[in-house]
Amino acid sequence: MKKHRPHNLSGPAAVTRNIAVGSLCVAVALTALLAIYDIQQGHALRSRFWIACIVVMYITFIYYVLRNGHASLANWLLIILYEILAGVVFLFWGLSSSAGILAACFVILLPGILMTPRYILPVAVLTISILIATYIIHSLQLIKPIIYVPEVASSLLDVVAYSTIFSIFALISWMTASQYRKLLTRATLAEQRLLKQRNTLASELSEESSKLRQTQLQQIQQLYRFAVIGQSTAATLHELSNHLSVLNLDIHDLKTQHKHSQAIANAEEGMEYINRMVRRARRQLNSPVDHVSSFNVAQVVEEVLNDLSHKFEQKGIVIAKDFPSARTKLQTRGEPLNLAQCVTVLLNNSFEACGLETNPEIKISISKVAKSILVTVTDNGPGISGSAQDKLFQPLESTKPTGLGVGLYIAKHLIESHFKGTLTYIPTASGATFQITIKATTSP
């Protein structure tokens, strides 16, 4: 499989490429000059020419390594090249050779340019070690350096050679500086974009926070209204209880005078119903602890239907009941008042939903499936739209223009927290269907 080559070099790799290309140009130019000089002098090509050719091939190999994605290896190969060059010049042409000093300075700069500053000191130590080793070799006369002093004045060829070398090094420097300037420009632009994004995010966050605070304020205001309603309800129940006591005494007096009056009997029945509702409401408001007991689900639903029957009859709404005959098996444990409240919420919602229909009807069924009791309430009203279904059980969300948005939320909370059951909406072709699922227990 052919390996992919990263032809588009960027960043530090581009700097390595510039130095490698510049070094190759210098090596090729030097090789050409050595060949021209040997030919002009009438000599055969000397060993220095062939050494220069090896250097050209070495730098070409470095460029090949770099193009194959090994930038770190290419960097070290370049450093080794100039380290060897400085060492050879010092060894054979003396420690005062300008070419050797130039090569040594360049090799110390390379790690900081190509890699990270932490490599500068080790390379500098290595260069100094080579310098000291060369001095020791010369002192022991193991190798005698060639001190070259030109016998004739410099020629135009020398000027061209040095000018070419200087121009190439200037080009390398310019290309490297340009590359770093591009990198700096990109970094600056990236920083500006990040700052712009940060400012945009800060603005959006501030806007969202303002919306959240507004929503929280609305919810607090709504909760305050609920608290006022609760206080008003408690006060109203107290006043209603006092008036009921007076009415009970008056009806008792009337009963002693008219013992067989049907009107008085109906009034007593109505008063008992109102008394029962007041006691239930006051118990719910005043008792923070639920009274858990075993009760019959069908019996609780029947009581709720009896309490609401007069209301449904006035509106002409038909109540269709589907209860099993063996009601003794519909036992569960909990606070009966909590289940009655949940069923009342569902029936009142159905009452308001189908009240404007031509033939309004509400179906309520109770069934036992496995170890669960299902209470299902269905109406033939207009139903609930898809967008409203997602917010059915959320607090402060109502499908009715005048609704408070707490009925279904409270009912679901009671079923889930008190009975460990579920309250779900079942999509149907027409109308709306809600189902309560609670755990059945063994009848006592």
Across the chain, mean pLDDT equals 75
Task: Encode pLDDT of 257-266 as tens digits.
Answer: 666 666 666 6
d(CA 189, CA 192): 5
CA angle 158, 161, 166 (to 5 degrees): 120
User: pLDDT grade, residue 57 (50/70/90)?
Assistant: very high
d(CA 423, CA 438): 9
User: pLDDT grade, residue 3 (50/70/90)?
Assistant: very low
Q: What is the pLDDT of residue 39?
A: 84
d(CA 79, CA 85): 10
Lowest mean pLDDT among 31-45, 137-151, 296-310: 137-151
> What's the rounded mean pLDDT across residues 216-241?
60
Q: Is residue 155 part of a domain?
A: no
Q: Is residue 264 part of a domain?
A: no
Q: Is residue 214 part of a domain?
A: no
DSSP class per residue in 345-390: HHHHHHHHHHTTSSS-EEEEEEEEETTEEEEEEEE-SS---HHHHT
Give CA separation, 405 vs 25, 388, 434, in Å: 82, 12, 16
- Picking from 414, 392, 332, 315, the residue whose alpha carbon sits closest to that of residue 366 is 332
Q: What is the pLDDT of residue 267?
A: 65
Q: What is the pLDDT of residue 344?
A: 86
d(CA 338, CA 349): 17
Q: Is residue 170 part of a domain?
A: no
Domain at 363, CATH number: 3.30.565.10
Q: What is the pLDDT of residue 271?
A: 64
Number of separate domains in the chain: 2
* Residue 4 pLDDT greater than 50, yes or no: no
Last residue of a domain, one of 119, 149, 179: 149
Last residue of a domain, one of 114, 149, 184: 149
230 CB contacts (<8 Å, ≥6 apart)? Answer: 285
According to DSSP, the β-strands at 422-426 and 331-334 are: unpaired
414 CB contacts (<8 Å, ≥6 apart)? Answer: 338, 339, 341, 342
Q: Is residue 401 part of a domain?
A: yes
Check if the beta carbon of residue 79 is closer than 8 Å to that of residue 123.
Answer: yes
* Residue 388 pLDDT greater than 70, yes or no: no
Percentage of the chain exceeding pLDDT 70 = 66
Q: At what angle do helices 47-67 and 71-93 cross, to 10 degrees?
A: 160
Q: Is residue 231 part of a domain?
A: no
> What's the rounded mean pLDDT across residues 365-392?
80
Start-to-end C-alpha separation, the chain: 80
- Kindly state the greatest CA–CA separation across the chain: 157
d(CA 389, CA 403): 15
* Residue 363 pLDDT greater than 50, yes or no: yes
What is the length of the chain?
Answer: 444
Give CA separation, 30 vs 173, 284, 422, in Å: 19, 103, 90
For 211-225, give one letter per residue: b (16+ CB within 10 A) or e.
eeeeeeeeeeeeeee
Task: Encode pLDDT of 202-218 as tens digits.
Answer: 888 888 888 887 777 66
Q: Is residue 38 part of a domain?
A: yes
Last residue of a domain, one of 126, 149, 172: 149
Instruction: Supply the pTM of this predicted model.
Output: 0.43
Q: What is the pLDDT of residue 248?
A: 66
Dihedral (CA of 91, 96, 100, 105) sign = positive
d(CA 23, CA 15): 12
Q: What is the pLDDT of residue 157?
A: 59
Provide the residue range defining the domain that includes 328. 289-439
Residue corresponding to tokens 């062939």: 50
Q: Is residue 317 part of a domain?
A: yes
